[in-house]
Amino acid sequence: MKYLTQFGLPLLSTLGVATFSMAANAALLVGNTSGNNIVIFDEITGDFRGELIPDNGLLDSPDTFVYGPDGNLYISSGTTPENSAILRFTPEGEFIDVFASGNGLFRPYGVAFGPDGNLYVSSFLSDEILRYDGTTGEFVDVFAQRQGIVPNGLNGPNGLLFDPDGRLYVTTQGSVAVEGMPVFGQPSIILSYDIATKARMVFAEQPEPSPDSRGFVSFLGMAMDPLSGELLVSDFANGIRRYDSLTGTLLGELSTNYTGSVPSSSFIGSLAFAPNGDLFTVGFDIVSEIGSILKYDGPTKERSLLADANPKLQRPIGILYAAQPVPEPFALGGLAIAAGGLMLSRRR
């Protein structure tokens, strides 16, 4: 993949040119792994508000993105050892640099800044967690890696999350990387690490598959509920599990089967909380790959469809609640704004 040194904010199309007006106060940012872009949706109405980062050759299957300590946006991108990287953008979507890459990074998924000032990245197709300097992006070390093939190992690391005490949680998809391909067959579990000693423990074993799923579990994203303090974990195969964040006790499950079919015809992506406790996730149809945004009310966790089968959502996985202002697009001169196979296995 060719990394560009910079790009302008206007969005070009055959219909015209779109630019950005005053920034909105909050929004949902969604990463399209098939669209290779980051799009903006209204967190209240579910309306599409444009592209933050268009498909311009920079992103390759963006998976996870977070705001760093510097306020910039860090995005995991790449599907080969050559183009796997963490790319850095301004909050307005301007490319800054390739912040971190190399040293065995292969298909980066989870990204998290640690209390030690380092950036932790899950390397899915090397079964490792790599650590980079959180300021310079220089490689620090291989923080953790799979040792052999054991059920409680680092088998297909995915989501990363630090709790308030600085402990690192990791979801595994239950796969072993073999010559750049995931071979499934291990349980999908949640691990936790003491980052000072690198000591590992199993936080939660694989639960029973959701009754609406296709018979497997594939843990993906994590988020801490700001109201209850619970750890919520999304299952790519369907469902959101609720855990006691101290003991790892499974407390319950939220249904994500918004299509109503059994087995569900949708797969589920990452999680994001608003400060008021509202929970958001994304799903997509396994045939068309067109996505939807699901919202769960903070106090009640009652589910609603914020965006239903919107073609601007193309196999979405990553979602981020942007509490800071993001660009609000509008069309100039009455011109319209333009936005630039069946997956039954757990391979993303």
Half-sphere exposure of 282 (CA within 13 A, CB side): 33
Of 34, 29, 38, 32, residue with least CA distance to 11:
38
- pLDDT (0 to 100) of residue 324: 67
- pTM of this prediction exceeds 0.75: yes
For position 297, what pLDDT does the model report? 97
Three-state DSSP at 102 gives: coil
Question: What is the per-residue pLDDT for 329?
Answer: 52
Instruction: Please give the pLDDT value at position 25.
Output: 66
Q: Which two tokens stand for residue 182?
A: 């995931």
Report the side by side order of strands in the sheet with 200-204: 157-162, 168-172, 190-193, 200-204
Token pair for 345: 């296995």
Which pLDDT score is estimated for 323? 76
Name, in order, each residue with C-beta under 8 angstroms of 52's C-beta and a sequence gap of 6 or more.
Answer: 29, 38, 39, 40, 92, 93, 326, 327
332 within 8 A of 30, measured Cβ to Cβ: no
Residue 104: alpha-carbon gap to chain centroid:
21
Asked if residues 108 and 86 have their Cβ atoms less than 8 Å apart, the reply is yes
* Cβ-contact 281, 30 below 8 angstroms: no
User: Tokens 């790449």 map to which residue?
Assistant: 78
Domains and CATH numbers, the chain: 11-334 (2.120.10.30)
Q: Which residues contact 288 (CB under 8 A, 6 or more apart)?
A: none
Give the mean pLDDT per block of 10 residues along the chain (348 residues): 30 30 72 98 96 97 97 98 98 97 98 98 98 98 96 98 97 97 97 98 98 97 97 98 97 96 96 97 97 97 97 98 70 31 36
Distance of CA 308 to the CA centre of its chain: 19
